[in-house]
Amino acid sequence: MPPDERLGQIAIEDEMRSSYLSYAMSVIVGRALPDVRDGLKPVHRRILHGMNEMGLASNRAYRKSAKIVGEIMGNYHPHGDSAIYDTLVRMAQPFNMRYMLVDGQGNYGSVDGDPPAAMRYTEARLTKVAEDMLADIDKETVDFGPNYDESLVEPLVLPSKIPNLLVNGAGGIAVGYATNIPTHNVGEVIEGLLLFLENPDITIAQLMKKIPGPDFPTAGFIYGTAGIKDAYESGRGLLTLRAKVKVESDERTDRERLIVTELPYQVNKSKLIEKIAELIRDERIKGISDLRDESDREGIRVVIELKRGEIPLITLNNLYKLTQLQTTFGVIMLALVNNRPEVLNLKQILHHFIEHRREVVVRRTAFELRKAEERAHILEGLKIALDNLDAVITLIRRAQSPDEARVGLMREFALSEIQSNAILEMRLQRLTQLERNKLIEEYKEVLKQIEYLKSILGSEALVRKIIKDELIEVRDAYKDDRRTQIVKE
């Protein structure tokens, strides 16, 4: 066949536009942006699901990170092992995650920017928070899709009892889009969700009484509320973050010192100290006589000794101006909604999470109802067999094969094949009076359960109550004190 009949011609700009659009959508949906429902990007979701499949629960033994990375890469995420390990490490770092999703053992890096140990040395397992994000995943609560080679299936979203998008935040750069969502306090977010659940028409100003602003794992201060208000109302805002610095006086030397105990989010302590030292060396800041890092496992402590007669506030303001003791955090609350990137305000994020939990509760209830009805069906068959015990035993003894006995039971007692199989598999001890009473009690309990599950599916108020009760459980399990203080201007 001549080449011109096999190949069509296309303008290069059209091909580039088409191909680049495909690439852009792949990065947006499949790599760089979190889903509004569980707050996870695909690689995070695959790591948590893969660890769950490996049985790495929070109360089980740790497993080598190299083993985990290999499983994830081979089964779900066919990309570089270093990218998977970097993501695993970040989910185990207390200075990056407000509520860690991976419980790491070994050297997982530090706030100084030290790299983690190689994956062959470190170990990991899931945290309780991650387990709550995976809860009920085996009850058909979420959709699954084929993995990269269609040999397995993976969840397209996690059921997530945790409002993870706000709680642990997210950051990422896609093609033409960027997201930068700050971390929050889980107790405050859930209080906001409970308010929203009671009154969907609530205003953002009212919500901010429960969710006053971000809460970073490294604590520090947020200066001003205007940036928070902008972010919550429009999805975009600029926060001013400051380190926590106190002034100590040394009566013996008649000097004062600045003590830094908390840093702005994602500030590297080593680089900060290097920058201050550079400013001292270049004489851009002249009032400092000594600089040392006294940080230990108890926490951060950077000591800045001042020269005699220096006014601490002046030096501190210069440090805020010239170093990362003061930084800005540009909030862009962008996430995937139905696989489309959208900039969302606070109320929209809460709405999408509540809708997700509603779907999870309904699907879980439908699954449990189906299982209960299947069990009731079997118990009905066993009950019929026990009520006609002599006739059943006689029929089975006369049968030449299990198939003949099965068909005979189905014909004689109007049983289904499932019920007949259950009768044939029944152990002889179930024929005792005690076991018969247990079976009758179980049947009554299953009927009650069926009635309750049907009432849930028929009542929006009951579904809402279950969502509320589960949110309260999560709040009570994980709530803690706010770390970042908000200073009003």
Residues annotated catalytic, as ranges: 121
Round to the nearest angstrom and report the end-to-end CA distance of the chain: 77
Residue 26: CB atoms within 10 A of its CB come to 13
Is the dihedral angle over the CA atoms 54, 57, 61, 62 positive or is it negative?
Answer: positive
Q: Is 235 helix (H, G, I), strand (E, B) or coil?
A: coil
Instruction: Spell out the residues 6+ positions from residue 399 whose beta carbon is closer than 8 angstroms to its own.
Output: 405, 408
Q: What is the DSSP string of 169-220?
A: -EEEE-SS-EEEE----HHHHHHHHHHHHH-TT--HHHHTTT--S---TT--
Q: How far apart are CA 417 and CA 257, in angstroms?
A: 83
- Nearest alpha-carbon partner for 243 in 316, 306, 167, 330: 316
Q: How far apart are CA 415 and CA 266, in angstroms?
A: 66
Q: Is 336 helix (H, G, I), strand (E, B) or coil?
A: strand
Partners of residue 299 on adjacent β-strands: 296
Q: How far apart are CA 407 and CA 166, in angstroms?
A: 58
CB 329 within 8 A of CB 265: yes
Sheet hosting strand 102-105, strand order edge to edge: 63-64, 123-126, 102-105
Q: For residue 299, what is the DSSP state?
A: B
Q: How far apart are CA 180 and CA 237, in angstroms?
A: 10
Q: How far apart are CA 46 and CA 29, in angstroms?
A: 14
Q: What is the DSSP string of 63-103?
A: EEHHHHHHHHHHHT--S-HHHHHHHHHHTT-TTT-SS-SEE
Is the dihedral angle over the CA atoms 319, 322, 325, 327 positive or is it negative?
Answer: positive
CB 158 within 8 A of CB 38: yes
CB 107 within 8 A of CB 122: yes
303, exposed or middle or buried, with CB in 10 Å at 0-12, 13-18, 19+? Answer: middle
CB 462 within 8 A of CB 456: yes
